[in-house]
Structure 1
Amino acid sequence: MTTYIFFDEALHMLVNAFLISVSLLIAGSGIGLAVIETIEKTGDRQISPRQFR
């Protein structure tokens, strides 16, 4: 028995994989930007002149 994947099914799988990867990339970048923004907000209060030497 041979198992063939038809072109429509393969294209559907590729489109789904692409959409999932794009959504994960957008979610990951949003989380990363939120973390960076939080770090920058908390870091503004703790800057001392010694850090720049």
Structure 2
Amino acid sequence: MTTYIFFDDALRMLVNAFLISAVMLIAASGIGLAVIETMEKTGVRQTSPKQFR
């Protein structure tokens, strides 16, 4: 019994994976930018111990 995936199905899976990863990357970058913008608006800065040396 040979199990194989047709080329069309494999190509569709790869395209879907690419599109999903692109959407997730855009969403993650949007969330990251929102967090950075919120931190800049509030003016909260965490000081690093290296700054006091």
Task: Mark yes or no: TM-score above 0.5.
Answer: yes
Secondary structure of the 2:4 match is coil
Q: What is the TM-score when the length of structure 1 is the normalising length?
A: 0.80
Unaligned runs of 5+ residues in structure 2 are 46-50
Identity %: 77
Paired with 1:3 and 1:20, the residues of 2 have a C-alpha distance of 26
Aligned residue-pair number: 47
Moved over 6 A (4+): none
Q: How does 1:11-50 map to 2 (within 5 A)?
A: 11-43=11-43
Per-residue CA deviation, residues 2-52 of structure 1 (Å, 9 max, x unaligned), is 1111100000000000000000000000000000000000017x8xxxxx8
The residue aligned with 2:7 is 7
One-letter amino acid matched to 1:30: G
Unaligned runs of 5+ residues in structure 1 are 47-51
Q: C-alpha root-mean-square deviation of aligned residues, in Å?
A: 1.9
